[in-house]
Amino acid sequence: MQIIPAIDIIDGKCVRLTQGDYQQKKIYNENPLEVAKAFEDAGLERLHLVDLDGAKAGAVKNWKVLESIAGKTSLVIDFGGGIKSVADVDIVFNSGAALATVGSIAVKNENEFLQWLQQYGPSRFLLGADVKDEKIAVAGWLETTDIWIYDLIEKYSAHGVEQIFCTDVSRDGLLQGPAIDLYKNILERFPSLHFIASGGVSSMADIEQLQETGCKGVIIGKAIYEGCITIKELVQFQK
């Protein structure tokens, strides 16, 4: 199972929010490149980079941070937040991301997303689904749709999307453990899916449980920054 540390960006700084609330913001480092290099130096290979300014504005904003990290590390970066147009997708790939992370566009503008899949290839996208009671939540979690997570996965798997991650919004940023039951249900229905867990991870025991569930990767943010899990532990686990 691949360990994927997360860096969330506001105003070019490494921050974390609690349950997507911009009022509950904590700055962990003024220099995201420094954080990314620490991950790389320790032996981690992937990075989940989130442009929170972009997510709020509905257009990519912190692409210079992406360009800097991609240019000065060899991390495989997925970048998301505010990708709403082909121009945004181009900025993300031209700035060095291996994967573009998309969420609400796949829910709200299916035709647009399907065009991107055709144009760039489905292997270039990481589909992120925010979930509340097994239904998709969008617009910074403020809006819950009637779409079942299973239907979304089925639809885009059929179009070739290989990597999907899922965040239980009731748990994110709270360090209360991941949504194991939800992930079990997803993997029972889609056993060959490259499924990545996200949200709520607070200990190495959580990570071991996710691996046993069949997750292929796990995105970890707050637990690293709050010192609940060390980078060294994560690297040893991945070995």
Has 146 been annotated as catalytic? Answer: no
Strands (E), the chain: 2-10, 13-18, 21-29, 46-51, 76-80, 99-102, 125-132, 135-138, 143-148, 163-168, 194-198, 217-220
Cβ distance 217 to 230 under 8 Å? no
Instruction: Give CA–CA dist 171/2, Å, rounded.
Output: 21
Q: Is 206 a catalytic residue?
A: no
> Which listed residue (53, 78, 130, 168) is catalytic?
130
CA distance 91 to 72: 18
Residue 32 CB partners (closer than 8 Å, separation 6+): 7, 9, 12, 13, 14, 49, 65, 68, 69
Instruction: Give the active site residues.
Output: 8, 130
